[in-house]
Structure 1
Amino acid sequence: MVLANMLVFVITFIFLGVDAFEDKEETNSTTLAPPTTTEFPATALRVVDEYQKTGTIGRDQLDSFRNVALTCIGIGSIFSLIFHVGTKEPQYCRAKNSEEAEEKSSPCRRVTRIRKRDWFKMLTFYQVGAMYTATRLYVNLYMTYIPLFVDNTLKMDIIFVAVVPMIMHFSSFLGSFVMKPINRIIGRKRTFSLGCCVGLAACIWIGAGGQSGYFKVWGVYPVAVLLGIGGSVLLITSLSITADLIGENSEGGAFVYGFMSLLDKVSNGIVIMVIQKLDDNHPMYYREVLAFACGVPCILGVVVTLTMYKSRVGVLERGQIVVVTTVEKDPEDTDSTEKHRSGSMDNPAFESDGHI
């Protein structure tokens, strides 16, 4: 996903770079003389205004962004076709009980399932939902508003609308490589809290120095690195914790991820709608959006993680109903099946015989 996001901004960089080069060539061919004090004041103000608008996003970039969208759609369609045509799903068999499964010639294994209504009896279900929602709020908001911050607040050249987000995604790509050893050393909950602290540091930096002169020269780049690393840590860790919550209940995975996605989309829609409604066209508005709207989800993530300090994600509590209704065909051979039943399951809530 990080590589896909990087590809989007690489394509944007190419098209906007070509557009900026053509504008520069056109400006050089029709050089405007700087206004003098003897000129009519309105004409002088108009020319100065044109100088200030040079390099920012406007209607002149309509074709460039259209080409970016069409190129991304084309590449995405090609890879989606490759996935659906080239990916083969494993065989799946269903039986009414374990006795019918034993009569089948193919080796099958019993899988413990949780009914949909039983997910709502788990406190960790809501905690992971809040954690995932905070993650998506942070990531989606900084991805949405960092280009507007660069263009409207910092007044940087149009090419940096693609450069700064590209730095963020490249940093998040590099940050993903250190996720596994960090998770192994301090655990996923502490790793998630660490990602929240990194993201919060970036938000504080934007709020404190977003209007300083150095920020436009070099300050925006380390902030972009912090935003990218924080987003990568939060996204990867929250998805991993959601997978831990599902555990061996693969049939419930669609429901869990669907519920998390519902919380994510509704919350993002409401927050972005409020942000746009409160927009007063102040040049520092998007600095405040990145500082507060992205900082609050980081604080929320830390609070949720603290409430999960003694919780074991994926472990069922007493009183929760579990129904064994399906039998899946084991893709491994008989020896690996017996090894799996002897206690090599990832989820500690399930014993080797399929019971809690």
Structure 2
Amino acid sequence: MFPFVLPEIFCQEFPRQGIISYSINHPIVMVFGMGDEESWSKPLGRASVFYYGVGHMLNDITSACWFTYLLVFLTDIGLTPRNTATVMLSGQIADGFTTIFAGELIDRFGHFKIWHGAGSVLVAVSFSSVFGICLPCKIFRTNSSAILTISYSTFAAIFNVGWAATQVSHMSMVNCITLNPTTRVVLASCRNAFTMVANLSLYAVALTVFNVSKPRTPIDIENQYRWIAYLSIFIGCCFVSIFLIGTKEPRLKQGIHGTSNHRISWAHWFKKVLYYQVAIVYVLTRLVTNVSQAFLAFYVINDLQMAQSSKALVPAIIYICSIVVSVILQEITWTGQRLKAFFTAGGVLWIFSGAGILFLPSTMQNLMYLLSVAIGVANALMTVTGVSMQSVLVGEDLNGCAFVYGSLSFLDKISCGLALYILESNQDTASILKGCHSIMGCFSVTRYGLGLVPASCALLGLVVTYTMNLHTPDSKPLLEPLLA
């Protein structure tokens, strides 16, 4: 914890443009006239929501490629499961620590778009190296396992540093854009919808590459994943440009009336029971989505013995369903009880899906497409409501909101990194299948990682959600539309 008091952030919306204005000076006084407060409570325009929603596309599409194909790619280039897990863990640790420090620095200095733009540059440059040729191997003229691991671990760490800076700056903007709790959920839902678009774009690219390119050698297989990564970066950069052009930099404004309010300290959040509840639910939600995504390609190929194109087709079905549900969720007037109810529905659906994955035999592999629909719906319900619970936690305490998003993301990255490291390190035992027969299927580390772990996390998330007391400022349903 830092011993000094940081200046607080003041955010003021200009409703005509549908954007926010933001700057930073000395300790700031939040001064609202009646008109300002009313404008903050109004829904945003569709253009403003769109510009915000596409701002995380580069992060999302590279993240989808990271979790879906990195383990497969590193295995194909000759790394052992343990070394592959080390590369993944190094990136997650770098991501986690950068996330929490980025949150603190953004709260102190502001400049959302600078953080976002700089992080995006790091993501684009380093991600092409993660899936690129091992440069140290060329320099030292060796392909030793140690050099490969160090090289890819370094670029993975740099990639995740940029990823974290972009993520925290983008997520923490939600609470500076509006005080309307329903509109905040709309922003989170729009962001989540474009996350699904990013994932779908990745799998569309992957499906095209897998069908067009017919690999004959291991080098050809490696080049397939490299093309997928390069095209993903290009698509993501296009949408980041739209975000940076369409969204103006928020400016801070120093108040000249009233009393000074210091920035909210870390201790303020640590004293709230809801902080710990939201943290647990958010981390469990991320474990559900990330762990399942990381082992999906292994599962459909190795356990179900489906065609190579299923590595792109099955995830695509999941994200098409997620997009549809996310769009529907934008039209709902949200309260604390509805957040809990929809999260519960998603969790229950994932529990049943996990059970299906765990016991699905390869002879009934086509049922995986049906399970993909259920998983897509469950992911959307849990992700939209899980992220929106953070906005309820922050409420109108805008000074320090980046710390909330940063600290919860830190827990998310570290827990996911450890979980994937443990599972992937034991992937070499996956070939020793136990309990194989026509009904129960064959149990492996991959099957447990995709079915049992996410289902268990969903169950625990339901228990914690039940204990929450989510209170939204507006107890009455909104009469105006969600998007102006």
Q: Answer yes or no: same fold by TM over 0.5.
A: yes
Letter in structure 2 aligned against 1:221: Y
Say if 1:272 and 1:5 are closer, same or farther in 2 by CA, change over 3 A. same
Distance 1:133 1:313, change over 3 A: farther
- CA-to-partner distance for each residue in 1:280-338, whole Å, 9 max, x for gaps? 03264212221211111101111111221xx2347xxxxxxxxxxxxxxxxxxxxxxxx
Structure 2 counterpart of 1:324: none
Distance 1:84 1:347, change over 3 A: farther
Report the equivalent of 2:163.
none
Q: Which moved more, 1:161-170 or 1:77-86?
A: 77-86
- Determine the C-alpha separation between the residues in 2 that align with 1:162 and 1:186: 36
Contact 2:199 2:319 in 1 (8 A): yes
Question: 2:226 is matched with which residue?
Answer: 66
Q: How far apart in 1 are the matches of 2:332 and 2:218?
A: 45
Equivalent residue for 1:254, pick from 402, 405, 418: 402
Give per-residue Cα distances to partners, 1:87-108, cap 9 Å, x unaligned: 2134431236517xxxxxxxxx
Q: How far is 1:250 from its partner?
A: 2.1
Gap regions ≥5 residues in structure 1: 27-56, 100-109, 315-344, 349-356
Which residue in 2 is equivalent to 1:9? 203
| CA contact 1:16–1:159 (8 Å) conserved in 2 | yes
The answer for the alignment partner of 2:318 in structure 1 is 168
For the pair 1:312 / 2:470, whether they are aligned, the reply is: yes
Counterparts of 1:12-161 in structure 2, within 5 Å, are 12-19=206-213, 22=214, 59-95=219-255, 97-98=257-258, 114-161=264-311
- 1:236 aligns to 2:384 (yes or no): yes
Alignment partner of 1:272 is 2:430: no
| 342, 366, 385: which one aligns with 1:191 | 342
Evaluate the alpha carbon distance shift between residue 144 and residue 161 of structure 1 in structure 2; reply closer, same or farther with a 3 A threshold.
same
- Counterpart in the other structure of 2:354: 203
Identity of aligned residues (%): 28
Question: 1:43 maps to what in 2?
Answer: none
Q: Partners in 1 of 2:220 and 2:251 — Cα distance? A: 53
For each residue in 1:13-64, what CA deviation from the matched residue of structure 2 results, as whole angstroms up to 9, or x when unmatched? 1111112xx46xx9xxxxxxxxxxxxxxxxxxxxxxxxxxxxxx96532111
Q: 8 Å contact 1:241–1:313 — kept in the other structure? A: no
CA 1:293–1:58: 2 relative to 1, 3 Å: farther
Alpha-carbon deviations, 1:181-208, whole Å to 9, x = none?
Answer: 4956961112111110011110011112
Give the secondary structure class of the aligned counterpart of 1:187.
helix
Q: CA deviation at 1:111?
A: 8.2
- Letter paired with 2:459: I
CA deviation vs aligned residue, 1:154-190 (integer Å, no higher than 9, x gap): 1211111100000000011112233354956961112
Larger radius of gyration: 1
TM-score by length of 1: 0.70
Distance in structure 1 (CA, Å) of the matches to 2:246 and 2:234: 18
Counterpart CA distance in 1 for 2:250 and 2:419 is 40
User: Amino acid of the residue matched to residue 349 of structure 2?
Assistant: V
CA shift, 1:278, in A, is: 2.2
- 1:177 aligns with one of 324, 327, 333: 327
Q: Quick check: 2:358–2:448 contact (8 Å CA) kept in 1?
A: yes
Distance in 2, Cα, partners of 1:174 & 1:141: 22
- RMSD value over aligned CA atoms? 2.6
What's the CA shift for 1:74?
Answer: 1.7
